[in-house]
Amino acid sequence: MKNNLLLLSLAVIALLYACEQATIKQELVIEQVEAKWVSDSRVDVFDVELVYSQDALVVKGETTIPQAKDELLLKLEQSNKLVDSLVVLPSSSIEKKWAITTLSIANLRDEPRHSAQLVSQTIMGTPVRILKQEGGWSLVQSPDRYIAWTNNSSLAFIDEAEFNAWRSGRRVFVLCDGWLEDGFGHHVSDLVKGSLLTVVEKQKDKVLLSLPDGRSGTVGADVVREFEMAGALPTLESQDLIEVSKEFMGLPYLWGGTSSKAVDCSGFLKNIYFLNGYILARDASQQIKYGQPITLQVEALQVGDLLFFGDAESKKVTHVGMYIGDTEFIHSSGCVKVNSLDETRDNYSGYRKASWLGAQRYIGHAPGDGLMPVNQHPWYVNHK
What amino acid positions are annotated as catalytic residues?
Answer: 265, 319, 331
Count of CB atoms within 10 A of residue 299's CB? 6
Three-state SS string across 234-269, please?
A: CCCCHHHHHHHHHCCCCCEECCCCECCCCECHHHHH
Cα distance between residue 6 and residue 206, in whole Å: 91
Three-state SS string across the chain, please?
A: CHHHHHHHHHHHHHHHHHHHHHHHHHHHHHHHHHHHHCCCCCCCCEEEEEEEECCEEEEEEEECCHHHHHHHHHHHCCCCCEEEEEEECCCCCCCCCEEEECCCEEEEECCCCCCCCEEEEEECCCEEEEEEEECCEEEEECCCCCEEEEEHHHEEEECHHHHHHHHHCCEEEECCCEEEECCCCCEEEEECCCCEEEEEEEECCEEEEECCCCCEEEEEHHHEEECCCCCCCCCCCHHHHHHHHHCCCCCEECCCCECCCCECHHHHHHHHHHCCCEEECCCHHHHCCCCEEECCCHHHCCCCCEEEEECCCCCCEEEEEEEEECCEEEEEECEEEEEECCCCCCCECHHHHHCEEEEEECCCCCCECCEEEHHHCCCCCCCC
